Amino acid sequence: MVVAPRHGVVLAPRAGSTGRVGRVNATNFEPSTGGLLGRGPLGKLGELWRARELLSQLVAKELKVRYKSSSLGFLWSMLTPALMTVVFTIVFTRVVPIRIPDFAAFFLAGYLLWQFLQNSCQGAIHSIVGNGDLVKKVYFPREVLPLSHVLAQLIHLLLALLVVSPYLIVTRGVDVLLYLPVTLLTVALLTVFVAGVAMWFAGVNVVFRDLQELFVVIFLVWFYATPVLYPLALVRAQLGADALLVRALALNPMTWFVEAFRTPLYGAVRETGAAADAGLALVTSSGPALPSATVLAVCLGWALLTFLGGYTVFLRRARTFAKEV
């Protein structure tokens, strides 16, 4: 049974299966007179705002389904970053040493951000295809499906940040708390960026199903092209600031977000004179600090550009969702 959102309940068949929504109340939502097809991203934001109750219920559903019948609940979501931290700390402090103080804190201050991006897009890419029956039978803003995954992962990120904060305070100092507003600002900008990327993947995957098969490869390459495991300063020290690889890394938007997020939590990593010769030894700042205005401005630019671009692609693809799912 499916009831139009303006009258009460949205119910997708086979609730509980992967990628599908269950019973969701969607009262007080009516489609705009412009319809799904005739408006751009800015105009659609008003309709998305009216569907905020539906979006919040989908987010709650995502969280409940994930931890249903789980004895440890949210702690399971910390298992991956914890294991990755242990493995990479051993590798890059014992096997292939990168001379960075508190490598575990350095890694966590980048990996949590990366995990937010990857998990959001991994859920969003199946969000339209996996709810084909619902998309065909009832009207609602289609973007709430991928955005629900983004917001659910945002909650995971904030909880994870809360869990690791004591460790960061112990290893990097109490200034972690002082710069918390900047950390949250970076998270807000990244959320806008991730929303755009997630909507792009969700929309394009409907017409190009091979994208979901390429997802692992795309994000594996993207991960190693992002300074999560290594500091950008190390690449500059070894290759020079004008090297092609350094310029390529600067074109990666996640490079800027990781730098903006890591600086107030860990500190800036800079090479010393000796490091420039050896290409290895690096020193950090005395502790967490404010990211530069340039870094934040670039993050803002990437967030707005990616959101508008991803939303535009999604809305254009939405014209044929009902036919192609």
pLDDT digits (tens, 9 = 90+) for 91-144: 888 888 877 888 999 999 999 999 999 999 999 999 888 877 787 787 788 899
- What is the rounded distance in angstroms from the CA atom of residue 299 to the CA atom of residue 257? 6
Local confidence band at 20 (pLDDT 50, 70, 90 cut-offs): low
Q: What is the mean pLDDT of residues 191-197?
A: 97
pLDDT digits (tens, 9 = 90+) for 52-67: 888 999 998 888 877 7
pLDDT at 268: 87
Model confidence, pTM = 0.84
- What is the rounded distance in angstroms from the CA atom of residue 51 to the CA atom of residue 48? 5
Contact between residue 236 and residue 250 where contact means Cβ atoms under 8 Å apart? no
Q: Of the candidates 191, 149, 203, which has an alpha carbon nearest to the alpha carbon of residue 315? A: 203
pLDDT at 117: 97
pLDDT over 70 (residue 28)? no
pLDDT digits (tens, 9 = 90+) for 233-265: 888 877 877 889 999 999 999 999 999 999 999
Cα distances (Å, whole numbers) of residue 218 to 33, 50, 208, 248, 305: 39, 34, 15, 16, 20
Q: What is the mean pLDDT of residues 209-223?
A: 92
**Percent of the chain having pLDDT more than 70?**
79
